[in-house]
Structure formats: structure tokens, C-alpha cells
Structure 1
Amino acid sequence: MAELSVVEICAGAGGQSLGLHRAGFDHMLSLEIDPQAAATLRHNLERIQDRSPDVRVGDVADQGLWRPEDYEGVDLLAGGVPCPPFSVAGKQLGSQDERDLFAWAVELAGRIQPRALLLENVRGLSAPRFAGYRQAIADRLEELDYASAWRMLHANEFGVPQLRPRFVLVAMRPDSAAHFSWPTPLEDCPSVGDVLRESMGERGWRYADRWADQAVTIAPTIVGGSKKHGGADLGPTRAKRAWAQLMVDGHGVADHAPTRNDPSFRTRMPKLTNEMVARIQGWHRGGEDWEFLGRKTSTYRQIGNAFPPPVAEAIGNSINAALNESAAASGGLESTVHDDLYRLLKGSSKLLTMNDIVKSLGLGNDLSSIARRLQTLSEDFVLHEMETSQGLAYGLGEFKAFRGQEDHGRHSHFADARTRARVS
């Protein structure tokens, strides 16, 4: 395929970067807030690209870090914006979480005008809780003249032996969108044993083959974690139980593979090394040997928090084919209505009563359901209420998400964080 250009935000240590590189994209600019992850990314892009990479460290929304308009017309704007606002492991604060950058990234597309947009996040963003949020994103992209669609992609469907669903948004100009098709899942996925057989035996462990022969399923989701938590660890209690079914000790990460004199996995389960975790994430497929910089815990987080490279490669190939119109016109990016109540309120020139809403949406007399949905919408949007002769009437106000507003609370939060970092 023809080589295309990409600007990547929230790039991490390069999982998406590597996949997009394999799919024919050349990185014009990469932005990442974590210095160690950025160092790893820069080190590897220097090895696999024909020119020196431009990797910048800092808050991607900091106007002093870069000027988006300098990259107007780039082929692809991509990123794995922060997951905590939507993760079921957190509070799912959505637009009220100061780390939320999803809506901002869409506004960024309006400034850069890329030919395509790729954003990925956790499964939690697909939940009913965020139906209105997704609808706001889809509607804004339509206003910016992009066709868009969301799809849940499962890592194990692309050869990554891991239970790792990712919720992916792709948007393109309508002419290119007509040529887009979601990547086709592979028929088979290797097991954990298939992928780690050689690594487990690299120091002569006598039980490596027998261990691999019984590790015949895929792994639970690799959890990279955050700096607020302890060292490298394979996840919460439920994940550790799943690892134990694979005869892996999930309490920490080992410095090296088992040696010849180590006992059987039935006597003492082996721990994974960072190199093994990277293989489960799909980093070593395709020939490039990605080198991670930093100490063990930092390396583990860089590996575990990444978008698996084979999944990024698969979606990157689909985007490349559509932009080059090398794929036949197909169903394209089919839009979906995520929240009909949101659209009703947004499109109304007046406030609507419960009776108005019931009649318009054909919901019968399920007023309690409507009340719950209104409450959910109020978490991400200003919800106007007014008492009328027919009861309360409702209207949809401003989207609370950060989109670059000068008066948004995100600015003070990050200013405080920078101050604390300088003091410490």
C-alpha cells in the first residue's frame, strides 16, 4: 500500500504506532505525556523509520507543546485517549473526569482536517451510560463532514492471545468512507502456550513444553495499571484466578524465565517476564523487535497499557485501503443512533415534557425509564428543567466534556498537578 502520514496523540510506548507503521503509515508527530513511554517510542521510531521522529513530551492539550494547524491535511489523526473516564474499573465519570480527551480529539480533527480519524478506548465507552456521549461525538463529526462508526474489536480475533476488547471509532470523509470495511477477524488465535513455549524454555526449563501443552487458552486482559498502584502485577483477583488456570503466577513479573533446576509448574507456577507479556500483547509479530526503555515496573506499564500492535495494524490496513481507494466500495461507515432521547432534546426548539417525550419516542408509559435516562444524560450534559402546567419540561444544554474551552476545570487541575510535581 502507498505510504500515508499520521499524527498520533497519547501515543504511549508505541503499540498503535507499531501497528500503523506496519500498515504503511509514517509518523509526522507523536505526542505522549509519560517521559519514559515517550523515550521508548522515540528510540524505536528512530530504528524503523527513514527519518528522525518528532516525539514530544507533555499534555497533548497544552497549546505550548504543538500547533495543530501545522499538520493540516495529514492523512490520519490517531490516538488512544485516556481510558479511566470510561473504565468499569474506575468511577466512569465520563466528561466530568479531567483526563477525558475524547471530545477534545474530535475538535482537534476539526482543526487539523485529517482525511481519517482513529480513536480507541475501553469497552466501558460502549455502555448505555455513555450513549449520549457517543451520540454527541457522532453528531459533531457529521457537522465536520465526516462519516463515522464505532466497532468493538477483540484482540484474540487478530492473533493476540488475550481477552482484550477495544472500542474503536473510525471517521473519514464520505468519499473515502465508501471504501472502508472493518478488518476481517482471523479464523484461529494461538494459545498462550503457543506464543510462550520458546520463551518459557529459553533458560533450559525442563517443563516448558509440558507447561505450554496445557496452556491452551487465551490470557485475561493484561492490566498495565497506573503510577498510583504498586509494582508490576497481572491484575486483580479475578484475573489472577484466570492466570492460575494457565498455570501462571499472576502475583508480579519475573526478571527471567524459569531455569533448568526450577520445579514443575504443578509444584510452583512460573511468573511471566516483561518479554513474555509483550509477546502476549503482540509486540513481536511482524519482525520488529520493539525495545523498551526503563526499569521493570515502567516497562510493564508501557507494555500493558498499549493498544495491541496486530489490532492497530489490522484497522490501519483498512484505513489505508479506503484512503487509497484500493478497496472496492462497500457498506462503508454506517452511522448508528446511540441515544434517541439525546437527539430528540437536542433537536427541539422548546423544552419537552414527559408526555412530549413519550409521544415522540413511542415509549408507552414507561416514565421511570425516561427519568433514569434523563439523569444519565445530566452526567455529561447540562440539563435544563422548567416547571409547566403539564409538569417538568426538559431541554439539553452544553456538553460538559473538555473541548478546548478556556474556562474548563481541566486547566486548573493540570496546573495544580504541574505545581505538585515541581515541589516534589
Structure 2
Amino acid sequence: MFDFRGGLMTQLRVVEICAGAGGQALGLERAGFEHALAVELDAMAAETLKLNRPEWDVRVGDVADTAVWNPADFTGIDLLAGGVPCPPFSIAGKQLGAKDERDLFAWAVELCGLMRPRALMLENVRGLSAPRFSAYRQHVLDRLSELGYVADWRLLQASDFNVPQLRPRFVLVALSAEDAPYFSWPETTPVQRTVGEELVDLMRSNGWEHAEHWSRRANKIAPTIVGGSKKHGGADLGPTRAKRAWAELGVDGLGVADAPPPAGTPEHFNPKLTVEMVARLQGWRDDWNWRFAGRKTSRYRQVGNAFPPPVAEAIGQRIVAALNHVGEPRLQSEAVTHDAVYRVLRAADRPLTIDQIFQEIDGVLTREEIDLRLKHLMRDFDMNVKPSRSNELAFKLGGFRAFIGQDDHVRHEYLAQKRSKVS
């Protein structure tokens, strides 16, 4: 895909941070982007990238370390993309957000001020879309607006992009004011295949006579595949609730198999999935010939933590269209306010009580809801709280606690101590 604006023909280029084993990378490549750089902390996932695309510039190490790469060297890149760490926002975790040493979302947004990419694409878990992080999202949108970008969030389901798995992902896309009117979110194509239909040929490939019977039992799409982390044991298909969902599909979720069931395996047997089967359920196609480096557990985690390539491709195609100004420009809809309380406190030149905030937002939220928003805010932002003249508590918003590149941030100490367990 090329950019023909001004009569020039130039390949659209992407820098991808936290690139993993290539789910997003492959999707963006298929959409028309050429990788100028891919950065990944996990050495084995980086080996997968090098194995499949030896011509790419793949750097291994902490993405926020300028000894690994210098963002200023890529000023003016067409797209900055990445799947920054999920634990700060995961419903399964503590949802520490900006206080989590692994959080790189705000840092990635700040890169836009340094690199000035024409577009930004970041994906994360569904938890980031929850009310807990409304102020965090509002800060991101407001900061991108200050930097000259038009941004939008969207919760996308992998199953709406022909991937036989639930897998919701929360995606941020931001474009320059010049390109944003040409962007629209991709249309959906709901998946038509069940787990059984997707995997039956692999299940029978080692001689299992009852693969067809199994495929009729596996008559739904897959629950969200969980790749896990280096901190937790071997490969399996997720927590207890996920394992129950897999069992209903006739799949043993207590591990990952080395090979499909052999001949002579009983008819009413619940097989484990192989890494190749999991890759199919993540949207990888056999004819792409994408290989994963490492032993089984590492390969499973690489696949399980990936962004499904078809989803990345669909979004990437819409970004390509926007950068090429394809179609008629669209009127930009009014920006959605994710957190009115944050907005009011950010604009205020004095501390405000809950009643004063309530009046400022004109009853959009109840006082109880405002109180809850304030509690969420105090987890991600510094907050000065003191009694007002009426003896009510008054709130003055302080700085954002997230890592945005500070030399003295606790993230550096955390990474130095736990580097081997961070994934």
C-alpha cells in the first residue's frame, strides 16, 4: 500500500512497540505497512519475529530504554503501534492502572509528542474500558488533543472479525487532524465457524477416528484464550471459569498437548489443544507459514498473548485508507467525555467539593457516583484533599502518576529486580 499524496509514492512505515510474537505485526503488514522497527522485551518472542521476518529491525529489551532504541530516530513515522502490558488494567488483576510499574500506556502516548507519527494504534484488555479507568482514558484523549491528534477508543470483539474466539480488546486509534476525517472503524464480519469446524482436520491428523464426533461437541466459538505470564507455571487455557467453558466444548484446559490424539483414543475423550490449534483460534492461517520459536510453553504464551492478526489487519486497513485520504472526509463527531469529574477538576483553579462538582457537571452524575469517581481518580492521580469553608472535603487534582519517561520513576527499580519474570 502506498501514499500517493502530493504525487509521491512512498511505503507506509510502522514502528511497533511491545510487539510480542507478531500477531499485530503480521496484521499490519497484511494491511500494507512496512516495519521500520519492532521492539520486544521477551527474547523468545523476538526470536519468533526474526525467524519469520529476518529483514526486519528487531530490538530486544525494555522498550522505554533509549539504549535499546531512540524514538527520536523515527520522527515522522506513519504509524506508532503496540500492545502495551495488560496487567495494569486486567479485571483478573488488581487494576492498579497508573500505579502499576508495568504500565506503559501513558508513556506510549507521550511518544507522539516526540516522534510525531501520523497515526497511533494501541490495544489492551477490556478492563481499560471499565468505569474504574474513565479518568485515565480522559487524560489520554485530552493529552493527545493537546499534541494535535484526534483520538477515539473502541471495544472490539475478535469474533466480529472472523476469528472463532470471543477475545474482546480495547483499541485506541489517534490520527493527525489532517488525516482523522478519513478514518472510520472497520465493519464487522461475524465468525461463521465453531471450534470444532476450525480444528477438526488437526484433531484427525494423528489418526483419531472420532475427531468428527468431537467436532460436533465443540459447537461454539472459543472463550478468550489466556496466554498467562512467566510468573505462573506451565501452559494451560486459563482460570477455572475458562476451563469450565472449554470442558463444555469437549476440550481439556488443564494443559497444552504436544500432538493431536492418536489412533485408538476413545470416542468420549476430551483432548487438549496443541499450540498449532491455539494459533488457529487466534486467527493465524496455515498458509501464512508463521512459525513460533522456543519450547511448547513459550510458544503457547506467545500465541495466547497475541493480538489476533485479522483484527489488526482490519484496523490497519482503515488507518491506511485514512493516511491515503481515501473517500470523502467525514464530519468529526463531538468528542465523548469519559470522565466529567476529571474534566471539571482539571479545569478548576481551586479545590471543589462534591456539591460544587455536581453543579459544574449539571447533574450528569449523582453525588454517589461522583464520590466513586473521586476514589478512582485518587488511584491514578495525586489529589490534594482538605476541608472547605463549609467543612466539606474539597478536592484539587494533582499530577498523573503514570510512567511517562521519568528517570526517577519506580518502574526502573521494579524492572531491574524482576526482569526475568516480566512478560
Q: Please, what TM-score do these two structures have when normalized by structure 2?
A: 0.94
| Residues 42 and 327 of structure 1: CA distance in aligned 2, closer, same or farther (over 3 Å) | farther
Aligned partners of 2:106, 2:407: CA distance in 1, in Å? 15
Aligned-residue offset at 1:208:
1.4
Determine if the alignment matches structure 1 residue 112 to structure 2 residue 115. Answer: yes
Aligned-residue offset at 1:332:
5.2
Q: Which of 25, 46, 53 is residue 45 of structure 1 equivalent to?
A: 53
Larger deviation, residues 403-412 vs 333-342: 333-342
Q: How does 1:300-311 map to 2 (within 5 A)?
A: 300-311=300-311
| Residues 331 and 120 of structure 1: CA distance in aligned 2, closer, same or farther (over 3 Å) | farther
For the 8 Å contact 1:282–1:310, the answer to whether it is kept is: yes
Aligned-residue offset at 1:366:
4.2
Partner of 2:353: 353
Partner of 1:225: 228
For the 8 Å contact 1:75–1:115, the answer to whether it is kept is: yes
Aligned partners of 2:413, 2:303: CA distance in 1, in Å? 30
Aligned-residue offset at 1:278:
0.4
Q: What SS does structure 1 have at the residue aligned with 2:384?
A: strand
CA deviation digits over 1:9-37, x for unaligned, max 9?
00000100010011011100000000000
For the 8 Å contact 1:148–1:334, the answer to whether it is kept is: no
Partner of 1:374: 374
Aligned partners of 2:345, 2:97: CA distance in 1, in Å? 20
Partner of 2:280: 279
Aligned partners of 2:169, 2:198: CA distance in 1, in Å? 21
Aligned partners of 1:331, 1:230: CA distance in 2, in Å? 50
Determine if the alignment matches structure 1 residue 154 to structure 2 residue 157. Answer: yes
Aligned partners of 2:364, 2:133: CA distance in 1, in Å? 23
Aligned letter for 2:34? D
Partner of 1:49: none
Q: What SS does structure 2 have at the residue aligned with 1:152?
A: strand
For the 8 Å contact 2:163–2:191, the answer to whether it is kept is: no
For the 8 Å contact 1:181–1:333, the answer to whether it is kept is: no
Determine if the alignment matches structure 1 residue 415 to structure 2 residue 423. Answer: no
Partner of 1:35: 43
Aligned-residue offset at 1:331:
5.0
Tell me how large the CA RMSD over aligned residues is.
Answer: 1.6
CA deviation digits over 1:382-411, x for unaligned, max 9?
111232212222111000011111221112
Aligned partners of 2:207, 2:334: CA distance in 1, in Å? 53
Partner of 1:291: 291
For the 8 Å contact 1:69–1:112, the answer to whether it is kept is: yes
CA deviation digits over 1:358-391, x for unaligned, max 9?
2112239943332222111100001112322122
Aligned-residue offset at 1:353:
2.1
Aligned letter for 2:173? V
CA deviation digits over 1:37-79, x for unaligned, max 9?
0000111122xxxxx2110111100121111011001100000
Q: How does 1:18-417 map to 2 (within 5 A)?
A: 18-46=26-54, 52-264=55-267, 266=268, 268-284=269-285, 287-331=287-331, 335-363=335-363, 366-390=366-390, 391-417=392-418
For the 8 Å contact 2:35–2:56, the answer to whether it is kept is: yes
Unaligned runs of 5+ in 2: 3-10
Partner of 1:5: 13
Aligned letter for 1:254? A
Aligned length: 412
Aligned partners of 1:140, 1:401: CA distance in 2, in Å? 13
Q: What SS does structure 1 have at the residue aligned with 2:299?
A: helix
Aligned partners of 2:298, 2:79: CA distance in 1, in Å? 29
Unaligned runs of 5+ in 1: 47-51
Q: What SS does structure 2 have at the residue aligned with 1:251?
A: coil
Aligned letter for 1:350? R
